[in-house]
Amino acid sequence: MITIDGNSLTIDDVIKVCKGFEKVSLAPSAEKGIYASKLFVEKALKKNKIIYGITTGFGVLANTYIPPEKAEILQENMIRSHATGVGSPFEEEVVRGIILLRANAMAKGYSGVSVELIKALLELLNKKVYPYIPSQGSVGASGDLAPLAHLALVLKGEGECLVDGKRVNSSGVLKKNKLKEIKLKAKEGLALINGTQGMGSLSCLAVYGAKNLMKNAQIAGAMSLEALHGTDKAFDKKIHMIRPHPGQVRCAENMRNLLKGSKIIKSHKNCSKLHDAYTLRCIPQVYGAVMDTIDYVEKIIQIEINSATDNPLIFAKEDEVLSGGNFHGEPLAFAMDFLGIALSEIANILERTIDRLIDPDKSGLVPFLVKDTGLNSGFMIAQYTAAALVSENKVLAHPSSVDSIPTSGGQEDHVSMGTIASRHARDILKNVENVVAIVLLVAAQGIDFLPESPAAGTKKAHDLIRKYIPFMDEDRVLYKDIEIVRELINSGKIVEAVEKVVKLK
């Protein structure tokens, strides 16, 4: 059970809820602050105070007065009017993250909502209700308005849920799961949709996947170095201590450990080759820079998922309501653009590694790593696939955050496009996972042509791949092999096997 209080949620907690369907509860310690902020709103209504989004319209309509007796209608209308998302729906794991993060943000006690509203969100998670939330339509400035409005609709018994891949009216889904429809009070509609939780959920999933990917990428790099009869001299500790970027130092240590005891490398220790191509020699410098980027992004996300991101914010202790811009997605927009760029570089360098492995002039191995070349094409076209993914990444990696289109009559005149940046980063991640899968396939095949045995760490990865995929004697359909290895990457099985003998940092 994960307990939320608005301040202590971790990315690992988010992943447990998104992927592991961990149940969630609201910390009793958070209820006092939540109640105080809600009471503030109720008192403000009775005093007929002018407060944005409570007794005024939204966006450019902020100067339009709404009488207190219409405060609830205002919230209901806003949810309906803002549910304008289009495109394919977010996957269930993304939606679960959105729900959790929105509940956690409101649990901080600055949103002016009821405890019951937050618990209603958590019940969606605990009952595995899957709201239909289209993935497109957010500019990431006043928060993820359109995506979050689709979530809010479900709480009201409107909108739709996804059940077995089909769109179903949410009222019936709520009844089936014995959940009550919520009547939104003053401020509650605005609090539900004014936040960065769409991009936040995508970001948590992306950084989690990126960390797992980088371990697999280093394993693929080590296997490739062995298959290409490379040298481990470039990973010498002394080299990296005089340029001590943390990721570079960490990656070099991982490579030393992955290759420790390799008879393949030992067999050509005194060969005439002075050094390897950059794809092999610069693994710590390139992979390490990506690892540093992931660490930076992770810190930004960790702050964001425990932040109050709606507007206005209720400071009940100070008897004050403040209007600001915590909903603006710029921190995540930059971070996710940066992550997408960094991950694209892993695909770039690994696609060149594939080329080196299948080219006999570079590898010293048989052409395209298959016997009877000509009759067989081997891994020739697998490199084409990697090249296509790399090219696609170059388009996806264009920074979304450098764009801005004014909205709401110019009131919201600068927007972050953070949700688009987050979607693109996840798309890039998926592409890179496929590239890494191809490298692992090709490197395993290359190692099989060598008489010497690999290192203990790389052997574990090689043996696991061979457990599912046989050596390719002649041409066969390869797309299924790529899918299998990608699943081994995503499931963590390759890293788990390797870390039985080598702990990766």
**Residues for the chain: how many in total?**
505
Q: Is residue 21 part of a domain?
A: yes
User: Do 190 and 219 fall within a single domain?
Assistant: no
In which band, very low, low, confident or very high, does the pLDDT at 394 lie, cut at 50, 70 and 90? Answer: very high
**Which of 140, 171, 195 finishes a domain?**
195
Query: pLDDT digit string (tens) for 443-487?
Result: 999 999 999 999 999 999 999 999 999 999 999 999 999 999 999
**Which of 161, 179, 195 finishes a domain?**
195
Query: pLDDT digit string (tens) for 82-100?
Result: 999 999 999 999 999 999 9
What are the C-alpha distances in Å from 259 to residues 139, 264, 281? 46, 9, 14
Question: 374-382 long-range contacts, Cβ below 8 Å, gap at least 24?
Answer: 375/474, 376/474, 376/475, 377/475, 378/472, 378/475, 379/354, 379/438, 379/441, 379/442, 379/445, 379/472, 379/478, 381/478, 382/354, 382/438, 382/441, 382/442, 382/478, 382/482
Could you tell me the pTM of the whole model?
0.94
Question: Range of 37's domain?
Answer: 2-195
CA distance 490 to 441: 15
pLDDT in the model for residue 43: 87
- Give me the amino acid identity at 490: N
User: Do 191 and 217 fall within a single domain?
Assistant: no
pLDDT in the model for residue 70: 84
Q: What percentage of residues in the chain have a pLDDT greater than 90? A: 83
pLDDT in the model for residue 271: 64
pLDDT in the model for residue 45: 82
- Give me the amino acid identity at 446: G
**Which of 134, 162, 195 finishes a domain?**
195
Q: Is residue 322 part of a domain?
A: no
User: Do 139 and 259 fall within a single domain?
Assistant: no
Q: Is residue 318 part of a domain?
A: no
User: Do 222 and 290 fall within a single domain?
Assistant: yes
User: Do 11 and 27 fall within a single domain?
Assistant: yes
Residue 253 reports pLDDT greater than 70: yes
Supply the CATH number for residue 149's domain: 1.10.275.10
Query: pLDDT digit string (tens) for 195-208?
Result: 999 999 999 999 99
Reduced to 3 states (helix: H, G, I; strand: E, B; else coil), residue 167 is: strand
Provide the terminal-to-terminal Cα distance of the chain, rounded to the nearest Å.
28
User: Do 180 and 233 fall within a single domain?
Assistant: no
User: Do 355 and 397 fall within a single domain?
Assistant: yes
User: Do 235 and 145 fall within a single domain?
Assistant: no
User: Do 188 and 209 fall within a single domain?
Assistant: no
CA distance 458 to 466: 12
Supply the CATH number for residue 399's domain: 1.20.200.10
Is residue 468 annotated as a catalytic residue, yes or no? Answer: no
Helix or strand holding residue 75 (H, E): helix 71-82
Q: Is residue 321 part of a domain?
A: no
Residue 269 reports pLDDT greater than 80: no
Query: pLDDT digit string (tens) for 291-332?
Result: 999 999 999 999 999 999 998 999 999 999 898 999 999 999
The dihedral built from the CA positions of residue 51, 52, 53 and 55, taken in this order, carries a sign that is positive
pLDDT in the model for residue 477: 95
pLDDT in the model for residue 65: 77
Q: Is residue 325 part of a domain?
A: no
Residue 274 reports pLDDT greater than 80: no
pLDDT in the model for residue 60: 67
Q: Over the range 72-86, which residues count as b (16 or more CB within 10 Å of their CB) and which as e?
A: eebbbebbeebbebe
User: Do 180 and 210 fall within a single domain?
Assistant: no
Residue 44 reports pLDDT greater than 90: no
Residue 66 reports pLDDT greater than 80: no
pLDDT in the model for residue 409: 76
Query: pLDDT digit string (tens) for 316-325?
Result: 999 998 989 9
User: Do 243 and 305 fall within a single domain?
Assistant: yes
Instruction: For residues 41-55, give the mean pLDDT.
Output: 81
CA distance 96 to 201: 8
User: Do 157 and 215 fall within a single domain?
Assistant: no
Q: Is residue 463 part of a domain?
A: yes
pLDDT in the model for residue 62: 67
Q: What percentage of residues in the chain have a pLDDT greater than 70? A: 98
- Give me the amino acid identity at 401: S
pLDDT in the model for residue 39: 93
Active-site residue (options: 52, 132, 208, 287): 52
In which band, very low, low, confident or very high, does the pLDDT at 272 lie, cut at 50, 70 and 90? Answer: low
CA distance 366 to 360: 6
Outline where 230-327 has alpha helix (H): 237-241, 246-259, 263-266, 278-281, 283-304
Q: Are strands 24-26 and 2-4 parallel, antiparallel or unpaired?
A: parallel
* Number of folded domains that form the chain: 2
